Amino acid sequence: MAGGHASTAPAMLAPEAPGLLGLSGLGFNRAQSIAFLVMLAALLVGPFLLYPVFLMKLLCFALFACAFNLLIGYVGLLSFGHAMFFGMGGYVAAHAAKVWGLTPELAILAGGVVGAGLGVVAGWIAIRRQGIYFAMITLALAQMVYFFCLQAPFTGGEDGIQRVPRGALLGVVDLSRDMSLYWVVAAVFLAGFLLINRIVHSPFGQVLTAIRENEPRATSLGYRTDDYKLVAFTLSATLAGIAGGTKALLFGIATLTDVYWAMSGEVVLMTLVGGLGTVFGPVVGAAVIVTMQNYLAEFGAWVTVIQGVIFVACVLAFRAGVVGELGRVLKVRL
């Protein structure tokens, strides 16, 4: 769906400037390199200026949104069921840390593995249809996973899994202090962010973009588009699982909220606000929405209404999102 925008955008832009400080090796153009350095600086300074738990929550959602954006922004697939990977990743990581006593990095990894497994199955079913049907199918599958979590014994039903220990990294570094956990979460986010960026700029990513722009053409060129879509879907689900697992360890709790359809909607909103198909959009969008939720928490149910209004406003008047609009003003691709 970002297709229309992305296909016209390059024509308006200045020719790609060379990279900066060797960051072009990551696939960044000049503007993106600067933005990346700014983000890196914010990651380093952030915990000394802001409440680390808030920042960690933000980073978990930013990774989740980046994973989602990999599908919508680069393959043109709107998944309305990404909560199933995020939530299940959280449950499994929490279970692994609490019941199996795994170290945090293994617990997070377990979340990713479950995201991947679930992604293969859900993707295999969902990619049989395109467009709106794809969105409805992923939503329905996610609801199925929600009911599974509601009934399965290991998830604790309405209570969720509570008092999950953060444990010690590699069994050595105690993570119960927020600042120590922060660097782990930041590293997980950064690794995920760079991986997505690497995927997007790889030959594989180019094929994904081709599928987004014109799937029949990609097929006629000999690409098995369904295979490409399934791999992309699985990668996205894996990263969403990792994000969910990290969030579960951060708060020591995994609940039904994270597998509920509203969470699928939230990640769509974050990506939309930041800018579909932009590199930094999902991060900015996650920051905007998480901050908003933090400040508006006292308004209770009005938060839903405000989110709805933002949704409507973005779709009607602000389709490029914050980063997309910024890129247009500055005539660069971010």
By rule CB under 8 A, what string of x and - marks binding of each residue 7-46 to other proteins?
----------------------------------------
In terms of CB distance, is 125 or 170 closer to other proteins?
125
The residues with which 169 forms a beta bridge, in sequence order, are 173
Q: Give me the least distance between CB of 145 and other proteins, in Å please.
A: 9
Helix (H) or strand (E) holding 173: strand 173-174
The answer to whether 296 touches 98, Cβ cutoff 8 Å, is: no
How far apart (Å, rounded) are the C-alpha atoms in residues 154 and 91? 9
268 near other proteins (CB under 8 A): yes
User: Residue type for 22, please?
Assistant: G
- The distance from CA 272 to its chain's CA centroid, rounded to whole angstroms, is 12
Among 164, 307, 326, 333, binds other proteins (CB under 8 A): 307
**Contact criterion met (CB below 8 Å) for 66 and 193:** yes
Site map (CB under 8 A) of other proteins, residues 105-134, x = contact:
--------------------xx-xx-xxx-
CB distance 62 to 233 below 8 Å: no
Burial zone of 246 (CB within 10 Å; 0-12 exposed, 13-18 middle, 19+ buried): buried
136 lines the binding site for other proteins (CB under 8 A): yes
- Cα 183 to its chain centre, rounded Å, is 19
Residues 236-265 binding other proteins (CB under 8 A) are: 261, 265
d(CA 195, CA 97): 25
Contact 70, 239 (CB under 8 A): yes
Residues whose CB falls within 8 Å of the CB of residue 242, separated by 6 or more in sequence, listed in order: 63, 89, 108, 109, 111, 112, 115, 188, 192
> Which position among 7, 157, 304, 330 is part of the footprint of other proteins (CB under 8 A)?
304
Rounded least distance, CB 306 to other proteins, Å: 8
Binding mask 63-102 for other proteins (x = CB under 8 A): ---------------x-x----------------------
- Is 320 a residue that touches other proteins (CB under 8 A)? no
Would you say 198 or 328 has its CB closer to other proteins?
Answer: 328
Verify binding: residue 139, other proteins, rule CB under 8 A. Answer: yes
**Which residues contact other proteins by CB under 8 A?**
1, 3-4, 78, 80, 125-126, 128-129, 131-133, 135-137, 139-141, 143-144, 147-148, 150-151, 261, 265, 268, 272, 300-305, 307-312, 314-316, 319
